[in-house]
C-alpha cells in the first residue's frame, strides 16, 4: 500500500525544505505535488547548484 503523502515538486527552488501535503498541489506555492516515495531526487541538478554556490563563496 502506498503512501498518500506527496511532496512539492518545486520545493528545491521555492522552499528551504520539502513541503509535504496530502493534496495534489503544494499548499504553499501551488506547484504540483508528487508522490514522495518512488521518485528519487535528481542528483545532478541540486548538487551542481550547490557546488556552484560553494565555488563562488570560496573565491
Name the site residues for Zn ion (rule: CB under 5 A): 8, 14, 19, 26, 28-29, 31
Least distance to Zn ion, CB of residue 48, Å: 21
Give min distance, CB of 33 to Zn ion, in A.
Answer: 8
Computed on alpha carbons and rounded to an integer, the radius of gyration of the chain in Å comes to 14
* 6 or 8: CB nearest Zn ion: 8
The nearer residue to Zn ion, 14 or 34, going by C-beta atoms, is: 14
Measured CA to CA, the distance from residue 59 to residue 57 in angstroms comes to: 5
28, 11 contact by CB (below 8 A): no
Amino acid at each position: 500500500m502506498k503512501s498518500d503523502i506527496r511532496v512539492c515538486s518545486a520545493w528545491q527552488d521555492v522552499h528551504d525544505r520539502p513541503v509535504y501535503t496530502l493534496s495534489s498541489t503544494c499548499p504553499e506555492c501551488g506547484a504540483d505535488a508528487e508522490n514522495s516515495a518512488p521518485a528519487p531526487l535528481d542528483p545532478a541538478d541540486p548538487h551542481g547548484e550547490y557546488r556552484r554556490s560553494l565555488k563562488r563563496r570560496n573565491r
